[in-house]
Amino acid sequence: TKIEAFIPLHPIAERILSLYNTTDDEQPVFPLPSRDALWFDIHEMGVIIGKEENLSYHQSRHSFGTFLISADIPIESIAKMMGHSNIRTTQGYARITDDKISKDMDKLMERRKIQSIGEKTDNNK
């Protein structure tokens, strides 16, 4: 995407990164398979897990976006992680699931309950 971003790495990612090329700036950090090899590997993973439809790299970006939005990561952060300069692009990747809506409603009801208890306490003074 040609969008530069500085994203802190999780300690596990740092350990994985230490196993690869981090000294030669002329070479990629990770060995890069051909597009066909990448497609084949992703397809094979789908076969192994019993996924009937063909998996793709593009689908993994959708899954990544949806996973992060479901984990309450702000859309602005997801956009940066995915290299998007426009949040609208990210919104196409980060789908809102029924489970996410349910969790958000539970949080809202809990906040309202706490707020209501606080108001009752204030009124009794």
**DSSP secondary structure code for residue 83 in this structure:** T
Q: For residue 117, tell me if it sits in a domain.
A: yes
CB 93 within 8 Å of CB 66: yes
Report the pLDDT averaged over residues 110-124: 78
Q: For residue 113, tell me if it sits in a domain.
A: yes
Q: For residue 91, tell me if it sits in a domain.
A: no
Q: For residue 1, tell me if it sits in a domain.
A: no
Using alpha carbons only, give the angle 94, 97, 116 rounded to the nearest 5 degrees: 110
- As for how many domains the chain has, the answer is 1
Q: For residue 74, tell me if it sits in a domain.
A: no
Q: For residue 125, tell me if it sits in a domain.
A: yes
Residue 117 domain boundaries? 98-125
Q: For residue 115, tell me if it sits in a domain.
A: yes
Question: CA 119, CA 39: separation in Å to the nearest integer?
Answer: 57
What pTM does this model have? 0.57
Tens of pLDDT, residues 32-60: 788 888 888 888 888 898 877 777 778 88
Q: For residue 118, tell me if it sits in a domain.
A: yes
